[in-house]
Chain A
Amino acid sequence: MSDRIKVVTSRLLLVVGLALCWSSAHAVLRVEITRGVGGGLPIAIVPFKVLKGDVDIDIAQIVADDLERSGKFEVMDRENLISSPGSATDVKYQNWRVLSQDYLVVGNIEQTSAVDYRVTFELLDVIKQKSITAFQYQPRENQLRRSGHKIADAVHEAIIGSAGSFDTNLVYVSVTERDSLDNRRFHLQVSDSDGGSSETIVSQRQPIMSPAWSPDGNMIAYVSFENPRRSAIYVQDRFTGSRRVLASYEGLNGAPAWSPDGKKIAVTLSREGSPDLHVIDVATGRSFQLTRNPAIETEPAWSPDGETIYFTSDRAGGPQIYRIPAEGGKVQRVTYEGNYNASADVSPDGRLITMVHRVGKDFRIAVLDLKNNLLDVLTSGRLDESPSFSPNSEMIIYATEKDGKGVLGAVSSDGAIKLHMPLSEGEVREPAWSPKLP
């Protein structure tokens, strides 16, 4: 094939590839920023130059979207680009100063085998005219999106000084054929933090609930109603799909939550009469009963040091958040504001709890600062639920609704940034943010 035909063919393939990517993006969570703060750091991200081979993922766009979503950056519109350097050596800094950009990301990709790539990027300080950081990754084809997220994390860390949470996963439940109650299907799905690369790890006609990550990101615990006589908590390897039953006792089996060291899972069981917290040793299967109270005790959540478990109890008449030492001991009430507080998650830095908090008739996401006991209501929906912190404690993903359909939302823990992430097909609920991935 002549060189000219090769170039045309590869460009054609790129266009076709992008078109396919766009149509498969039909299943990707689309991000709509609904409320942001002005004054993000101006950064330009140049589309990565393809040095060799076929690439159908727009890595620069993933980086741009990630950084925009954090609310801390204002990414320059592509149409304002006046040049497209593929590496630092091609950069003329005054071009970027003229566009009022403080930072510039350039990069390139080359295909090194049928399924392997090399991705190189560099972050430049436009004002100081020098390189801040540069990395090279060697992803397989199915990890290309992930390199975009790793780059966004590296940029966030280099400029802001704290870790990003872009190279992380979400697990959530999606429901299809929702309008025909008899034909509904439930799927447990894992995706990137932006909803991309989603894969289904469980699919069935009976409800799935309460997915929870192991601290190493390899296992997911969840509740399944596949047995019509009894619910069960399963623990499943997210890569191999192999799973085992953790608990399927008489009564309720629910709300699994892994300890931060991965050795124990707290669950809710009602086998002793009323729903109470039990802690199961993952290796031996032995359990001990943590709470003993005729009221409902459920929705356990571990503190990051593994010493305390927060949970929902209605022992005072309505659901409130309480805490108990993880080895057992005195129960203390945590929430005093409002008449319905439930579904707690503790921030990985240990400073905040997020929860579902009822305001009037609406259920909203709130955070409680554990130090000064101040409660801040972050969302304004009617039925917001399942809040889960990002690994850097900055964002909370939760379930909400839009146009009567279940979608995911995200809000920064200070409430400044709000996002909606609608899925085009079916509806989505019960998100859980993964730990930092190795």
Chain B
Amino acid sequence: MKKYPLVWLCASALLVGCASRSVDNIPSASEANRSVAVGETPSAGAIDGADTYGTEQSLLDGQGIAMGEGEVADVGRSFGSDTYFDKEAIYDPGSPLSQRVFYFEYDRDTLSDQYLDTITDHGRYLATYPEALARLEGHADERGTREYNIALAERRAQAVKRLMMLQGASYNQIITISYGEEQPAVLGQTEDAYSRNRRVELVYE
């Protein structure tokens, strides 16, 4: 969490430096820190200050990365490992690609940078092997209404998809499906259970 804004500072700096390619809406570091997103609950009437219960912000809405048709950003250089993945890497339990569940942090509903690294790795795997197909399953914790939670979890899955596409994965390689609160990983009403249910799972097909 603490490292996160720093990563974005570097990313922004690198991008500003890449004058030959432009990407829409790259935020400044201060914008990234704000994490303003569609779906943010106004704090009127909230308990405990920033009340994020039930309104789960999309991973990257605060970063506002929009992709133009056919454009690829060089964001991949700033995080993710530099390893080249061979085709069998997705079957290797020792590879970073074995991490298939991405959790969202408790108080801000953003991914910590450890998951950003892994997601970009998966994105680059898909970019390297255009015949590989993946499915992203979005999940939410149980608070709030079911259909609204389906929509929130879809947003999350799509944000992970966008990040993978930034690495060169194509739109058609990745399906997203949202289960909302219907497929919890863990039963229970504690904050710990909730944080383990707020996730996106990746399945290679």
A residues bordering B, Cβ < 8 Å? 178-179, 181, 207, 209-210, 225, 228-231, 250-252, 254-255, 268, 270, 275, 294-296, 298-299, 312, 314, 316-319, 338-340, 342-343, 356, 358, 360-361, 363, 382-383, 385-386, 404, 430
Query: Once the chains bind, are A342 and B144 in contact (CB under 8 Å)?
Result: yes
Shortest Cβ gap from A354 to chain B (Å): 12
Beyond A342-B148, A363-B143, 14 additional pairs, beta carbon < 8 A: A179-B187, A209-B182, A228-B135, A230-B177, A231-B177, A250-B175, A296-B39, A318-B55, A340-B54, A356-B144, A356-B145, A358-B144, A363-B144, A363-B145
Residues of the A chain whose Cβ atoms lie less than 8 Å from the Cβ of B38: 294-295, 314, 317
What would be 21 A-B contacts, judged by CB atoms less than 8 Å apart? A181-B184, A207-B182, A209-B147, A210-B147, A229-B135, A229-B175, A231-B177, A231-B178, A254-B147, A268-B151, A275-B151, A296-B39, A296-B152, A312-B147, A316-B42, A317-B38, A317-B41, A339-B46, A343-B147, A356-B144, A404-B189
A346 vs B183: C-alpha distance when bound (angstroms): 29
Which B residues from 76 to 125 make CB contacts under 8 A with A? none
Assembled-state Cα–Cα distance A270/B148 (Å)? 12
Closest B residue by C-beta to A275: B151
Q: Does A340 lie within 8 Å of B41, measured CB to CB?
A: yes
| B53 interface hit (Cβ, 8 Å) | yes
Q: State the Cβ distance, A437 to closest chain B Cβ, in Å.
A: 26
> Shortest CB–CB separation between residue A238 and chain B, in angstroms?
21
Q: For residue B44, which residues in chain A have a CB less than 8 angstroms away from its CB?
A: 339
Are A317 and B39 CB-contacts (below 8 A) given A210-B146, A299-B145?
A: yes
Cβ-based interface call for B19 (8 A): no
Across-interface contacts of B144 in A (CB, < 8 A): 319, 340, 342, 356, 358, 363
- Residues of A near B39 (CB, < 8 A) are 295-296, 314, 317-318
Contact bitstring B122-146, A, C-beta under 8 A = 1, else 0: 0000000000000100000011111
Asked if B67 lies at the interface with its beta carbon under 8 angstroms from chain A, I say: no
B185 on the A face (CB < 8 A): yes
Question: B45's closest neighbor in chain A, by CB?
Answer: A339
A36 to B119 alpha-carbon distance, docked (Å): 55
Which residues of A lie under 8 Å from residue B46 when comparing CB positions? 339
Which chain B residues border A178 with CB–CB below 8 Å? 187
Interface check B15, CB cutoff 8 A: no
What is the chain A residue whose CB lies nearest that of B43?
A339
Asked whether A275 and B42 contact (CB < 8 A) given A179-B187, A251-B176, A430-B146, the answer is no
Determine if B150 is an interface residue (Cβ-Cβ < 8 Å): yes
Measured between C-beta atoms, what is the minimum distance from B183 to chain A in Å? 7
A363 to B149, CA, bound (A): 14
Bound-state CA distance A270–B121 (Å) is 27
Q: Do B40 and A275 touch (CB < 8 A)?
A: no
B64 to chain A, nearest CB (A): 12
B8 neighbours in A (Cβ, 8 Å): none
Bound Cα distance A229, B178 (Å): 10
Q: Chain A's nearest CB lies how many Å from the CB of B52?
A: 10
Task: Give the chain A neighbours of B152 by CB distance below 8 A.
Answer: 296
With A179-B187, A383-B143 as given contacts, are A319 and B148 in contact (CB-CB < 8 Å)? yes
In angstroms, Cα B189 to Cα A356, docked, is 19
Give the chain B neighbours of A342 by CB distance below 8 A: 144-145, 148
C-alpha spacing A191/B147, complex, angstroms: 23
In the bound complex, residues from chain B placing their C-beta under 8 Å from that of A209 are 146-147, 150, 180, 182
CB proximity to A under 8 Å, residues B29-79: 38-42, 44-47, 51, 53-55
Inside 8 A of A254's CB, which chain B residues have their CB?
Answer: 147, 150-151
**Cβ–Cβ contact A317 & B47, under 8 A:** no
The residue on A at minimum CB distance from B203 is: A228
Alpha-carbon distance between A314 and B37 when the two chains are bound, in angstroms = 11
Q: Which residues of B156-205 are within 8 A (CB) of A?
A: 175-180, 182-185, 187, 189
Interface-centre pick from A179, A229, A312 (highest chain B CB count, 10 A): A229
Cβ of A360: which chain B residues have Cβ within 8 Å of it? 47
Q: Are B175 and A361 in contact (CB under 8 A)?
A: no
CA distance A255 to B147 in the complex (A): 6
- The residue that B55 contacts in the complex, of A210, A225, A229, A314, with Cβ under 8 A, is A314
Q: Would you call A299 and B178 a contact (CB within 8 A)?
A: no
A340 to B55, CA, bound (A): 9
State in angstroms the CA–CA spacing of A181 and B150 once bound together.
19
Q: Nearest chain A CB to B159's CB is how many angstroms away?
A: 12
Determine whether the beta carbon of A296 is less than 8 Å from that of B148. yes
Residues of the B chain whose Cβ atoms lie less than 8 Å from the Cβ of A225:
177, 179, 182
Kindly list chain A residues whose C-beta atoms are within 8 Å of the C-beta of B150.
209, 252, 254, 298
* Chain A residues closer than 8 Å to B185, beta-carbon distance: 181
In the complex, what residues of B have CB within 8 A of residue A255's CB?
147
Q: Which residue of A lies closest to B175 (CB)?
A: A229
Assess the A299–B147 pair: CB atoms within 8 A.
yes
Instruction: Please tell me if the beta carbons of A298 and B148 are within 8 angstroms of each other in the complex.
Output: yes
Closest Cβ–Cβ distance, residue A418 to chain B (whole Å): 21
- Are B187's CB and A181's CB within 8 A? yes
Q: Are B154 and A270 in contact (CB under 8 A)?
A: yes
Measured between beta carbons, the chain A residues less than 8 angstroms from B179 are: 207, 225
Q: Which residues of B contact A210 (CB under 8 A)?
A: 146-147
Q: How far is the CA of A343 from the CA of B150 in the complex (A)?
A: 13
CB distance from B199 to the nearest CB of A (A): 14
Contacts of B53 in A (CB 8 A): 361
Contact B41 A252 (CB under 8 A): no
Closest A residue to B188 using CB positions: A404
Least CB distance, B63 to chain A, in whole angstroms: 16
**Residue in chain A with minimal CB distance to B55:** A318
Given contacts A229-B135, A314-B38, A317-B42, contact A275 B143 (CB under 8 A): no
Residues of A within 8 A of B55 (CB): 314, 318-319, 340
